[in-house]
Amino acid sequence: MKTMILGAGLVGKAIALDLITEPEYEVVAVDIDETRLVELERAGIKTLRQDLSRPEVVKETVKGQELVVNALPGRLGFHALKSSLEAGREVVDIAFFPEDPFELDPLARQNNLTAVVDCGVAPGLSNLLAAYGCRLLDRADSLQIYVGGLPVKRQWPFEYKAVFSPLDVIEEYLRPARFRENGRLVVKPALSDPEYLEFENLGTLEAFNTDGLRTLLKTMDLPDMKEKTLRYPGHREKMLILREAGFFSSEPVIIGKQVVKPVEVTARVLFSKLILEPGEEDLTVMRVVVSGWKDGQPRIITFELLDRFDRKTGIHSMARTTGYMATAVVRALTSGLVKRKGIVAPEFLVYEPEVFSFIRQTLGKRGIFITEKHDAI
């Protein structure tokens, strides 16, 4: 199976290293950053240096492949997915772009292709668990998703580091959060409605609104749904100050004779402190709560995940949970378990008979475990 990975960052690297453990995958990793490619070459992975910011380049680059994994930053993701579909390639996508992926559904169906989008830990695994929880109930009324990737070591000033693009971090704090209350769509600023939650072995974390429901707003008809991001207490307020002070603005300003965008300066200078370095340990925590009715009684189903940096492989937890969810779907797709064509949201996979159990077992083999608890209200 000729498989091309677009983007060789920490998550793309984890995907490539996982897929080459099985001989049926012939993997090529593509990135503009030579240093990333050299590291993969040392692991025996074929690489290609290419600027994927132009759709026509993506379309030409993926020719000759059978499957594309789109692990590019969000700002490049939608056009890379579109170009891959135009080239006749099936796709597993973790770019988490802001555009509506269902706009590409006619293109995918026209070419008889499957593209599984938002295929990370959240969105991705969270969508699967949400849909699975709803299927376990006779009637589901409420969905709550809490998720965050955190450094194990809390370090001033931000107490946060990420495995993905700093611009994508900023985008998460800029994009208005959409959720549903009492059957109505509600839109609030990101970072709003803070609350504190307790987690075993972690203590108190702070949750706030982000736009993480994504496809669930179209595919699941629950009267109440929300998704919140988890961080160490205090991080949210610092990001809110920077945002309101204009450091995240994309409006150009003139400094001397130079025209610059504040957000680009922020991403380049300030947020260089937010990138996890090799060997720097992190963790991923997620809680998905589905409430409703079963056999005439109110019930709550809670799924939880706590994953940590893998000291043996040196792969970060967020790269593991995001990347291994993507590779589990790659394996399900190439083995014929995923039969649906068009744009496939992760929650759709629950309705494919064997896919959910296959993904859960595949993650378990890689040390990523999901606990499940059923409670009466």
C-alpha 48/C-alpha 61 separation (Å) is: 9
For the cut 80, the answer to whether the pLDDT of residue 310 exceeds it is: yes
Give the pLDDT band (50/70/90) at residue 170: confident
Q: Under a CB-based contact definition with an 8 Å cutoff, are residues 115 and 104 in contact?
A: yes
* Segment among 56-60, 197-201, 235-239, 253-257 with least mean pLDDT: 253-257
pLDDT digits (tens, 9 = 90+) for 83-130: 999 999 999 999 999 899 999 999 999 999 999 999 999 999 999 999
Set out the domains of the chain in order of their start, with CATH numbers: 2-120+318-368 (3.40.50.720), 125-232+274-317 (3.30.360.10)
Q: For the stretch 333-370, what's the b/e string if a residue is b when 16 or more beta carbons lie within 10 angstroms of its beta carbon?
A: bbeebbeebbbbbbbbbbeeeebbebbbebbeebebeb
172 neighbors 191 (Cβ within 8 angstroms) = no
The pTM score is 0.93
pLDDT at 54 over 80: yes
Confidence band for 377, pLDDT divided at 50, 70 and 90: confident
pLDDT at 274 (0 to 100): 82
Handedness of CA 334, 337, 342, 344 (dihedral sign): negative
Say if residue 216's pLDDT is above 90: yes
Q: Give the pLDDT score at 167.
A: 78
How many other CB atoms are there within 10 angstroms of residue 305's CB atom?
21
pLDDT grade, residue 232 (50/70/90)?
very high
Is a pLDDT exceeding 90 seen at residue 169? Answer: no
As a whole number, mean pLDDT of residues 166-181 equals 90
Residue 270 confidence class, pLDDT cut points 50, 70, 90: confident
- Tell me what percent of the residues of the chain surpass a pLDDT of 70: 100
pLDDT at 45: 95
Asked whether the predicted pLDDT for residue 276 surpasses 90, the reply is no
Distance CA 89, CA 69 (A): 10
pLDDT tens figures, 327-374: 999 999 999 999 999 999 999 999 987 999 999 999 999 999 999 999
CA distance 31 to 48: 7
Per-residue pLDDT, averaged over 168-182, amounts to 92
Q: Give the mean pLDDT of the chain.
A: 94
Tokens of 177: 């959060």
Q: What percent of the chain has pLDDT over 90?
A: 87
Buried b (16+ CB within 10 A) or exposed e, 248-276: beeeeeeeeeeeeebbeebbeeebeebbb
The pLDDT of residue 140 is above 90: yes
> Between 29 and 163, where is the model more confident?
29
Residue 312: predicted pLDDT: 93
From the list 369, 370, 336, 333, the residue with the least C-alpha distance to 117 is: 333
**Nearest in space to 345 (alpha carbons), one of 148, 123, 78:** 123
Average of per-residue pLDDT across 292-309: 97
> Tokens 């099936």 label which residue?
90
Average pLDDT over residues 63-82: 95
